[in-house]
Amino acid sequence: MAELLQERFDLKKENILRERNDFKRVFSSGRKLENAFFQVTYESNKQGKRRIAVVIGRKFGKATLRNRIRRRIKEVYRLNREKFPPCTDYIIRPRESSKYISFFELQDNLLRLIERCTSQKENTILRGQ
C-alpha cells in the first residue's frame, strides 16, 4: 500500500521535459494560454506521458527566487498530476507577478489555466482538428 502511495506522489525524470527538440516542437507548434501569473505552452506528444518544464529567465530575479518558484510549480504538478491531461507536454513560464503570491494562490491559478488547456484540447478533438 505504501508503495502505491509513494508512486503516486513521485515526480519521475520521465515526467520532465528535457530534450531540446521537444522544446522546439512545443514552442513552434504548441498552443499558448496565459493569465496574470503564468504563460503555458502545450502540445500533444507521442510518448503517452504528461511531461512538464518550467522556464524562468534571469530577469525574473536571483537564483534562489527562480528555484523557489520552480520548486513550487513542480510541487503543484506532483500533487495534481491527474488534472493534467495525459500525452501532453507543458512548458510553464511564470510571470513577474507570481513572485508575490502564496503557494495556494499559485496552485489555484496554475490549475485554472490547466483546466482551460484541457477544455481547449477537448474542443479541438471534438471539432476534428
C-alpha cell at 92: 510553464
The reported pTM is 0.85
Q: Which residues pair with 38 in a beta bridge?
A: 94
Counted domains in the chain = 1
Whether 71 is in a domain gets the answer yes
Position 118 scores a pLDDT of 82
* pLDDT < 70 stretches in the chain: 1-9, 121-129
CB–CB of 85/118 below 8 Å? yes
Whether 3 is in a domain gets the answer no
Whether 114 is in a domain gets the answer yes
Position 92 scores a pLDDT of 96
Whether 58 is in a domain gets the answer yes
Position 11 scores a pLDDT of 79
Whether 51 is in a domain gets the answer yes
Question: For position 109, which CATH number holds?
Answer: 3.30.230.10
Position 128 scores a pLDDT of 53
Q: What is the span of the domain harbouring residue 121?
A: 19-127
Whether 9 is in a domain gets the answer no
C-alpha cell at 14: 520521465
Position 8 scores a pLDDT of 59
